[in-house]
Amino acid sequence: MLISSVFLSLLLCCQILWSGVVTSNLAGWDLCLDDSTLNYSEYHQSTDAFPDISQKHTVNGFVRDLDSGESLIGATVYALDYEIGTTTNRYGFFSLTLDTDSLSLVISHVGYTSKFVHTGLEEDTQLNIFLEPTVVDLDEVEVVAPGGAGLESLQMSEISLSVAQIQDLPALAGEVDILKTLQLLPGVQSGIEGTSGLYVRGGSPDQNLILLDGVPVYNPNHIFGFLSAFNDDAIRDVSLIKGGFPARYGGRLSSILELTRSNEKRAHILRRFPNLL
């Protein structure tokens, strides 16, 4: 009981001392404000809150075609005073957030007349903007490619070789073999060593279309495939197409090999053997 009485006495003394400190502080404030028109309570009320002068608002909306009402994708919305802007999304929607009470916008799009809009921005604002299509008459434009621009062929995956190029390559026993020469090209394999079959991009030799002056050749080899049936002296050029075959060749799996005979040698043969006509 004695300890509880002592504790209550100490607590009462602390409360009295704290009340005296607070009262003296308030009296000091009243003395400082005696010569002014404000007292402590008025000063406290006047400093409760200040207006937010940097409050931001958002302007958004849609940009559409005036005639059809379709949304315009990629239209430019530019704020003149702030030198910032945005573009409309695939729905024709745009949005800008600024800390101003008024705003001047320029809305533009390719093929449309630009539009100037001035609006207040004291609160969030939504705009629906319609642009008028414009037609610009241009003079006639003629595009001319200079001669010899370096375009060799429009056919992709095509390799063309002349007989002169083929004859410059080393050959077995001095005899030029056109099919074996083609095996040295990229994308072409020889298969069994010594044979003249063409394995183009994983295909077998029977999946190739071989044409001699436009006529299919079904057996282009001799001696069980070790020699080709084409004489290099009678051939003018060779063309190998490894993909993207033109429609005139029909459907093929591996490649198309087209050989063209020399006109001079063909005429010489026809003069010697007129019955071939």
Mean pLDDT, range 251-277, rounded to an integer: 69
**Residue 132 burial (C-beta neighbours within 10 Å; 0-12, 13-18, 19+):** exposed
Mean pLDDT, range 181-195, rounded to an integer: 76
CA angle 223, 226, 228 (to 5 degrees): 85
- Fill in the DSSP letter of residue 206: G
- In the chain the domains, ranked by start, together with CATH numbers, are 57-131 (2.60.40.1120), 158-276 (2.170.130.10)
212: nearest Cα among 166, 247, 162, 262: 262
Alpha carbons 69 and 58: distance in angstroms, whole number: 24
CA angle 193, 233, 223 (to 5 degrees): 35
Alpha carbons 97 and 251: distance in angstroms, whole number: 61
Q: List, for residues 53-99, the tens digit of each pLDDT value.
A: 557 889 999 999 998 889 999 999 999 888 889 999 989 999 998 88
Q: Yes or no: say if 74 and 107 are a contact pair by the CB < 8 Å rule.
A: no
Mean pLDDT, range 227-252, rounded to an integer: 79
Mean pLDDT, range 233-259, rounded to an integer: 82
State residue 249 phi and psi, 5-degree precision.
-90, -10
Chain-centre distance of CA 84, in angstroms?
25
- Fill in the DSSP letter of residue 161: E
106: nearest Cα among 75, 128, 142: 75
Is the pLDDT reported for residue 241 higher than 80? yes
pTM: 0.40
Q: What is the enclosing helix (H) or strand (E) of 188?
A: strand 188-189
User: What is the model's pLDDT at position 265?
Assistant: 59
User: What is the model's pLDDT at position 49?
Assistant: 47
Is the pLDDT reported for residue 44 higher than 50? no
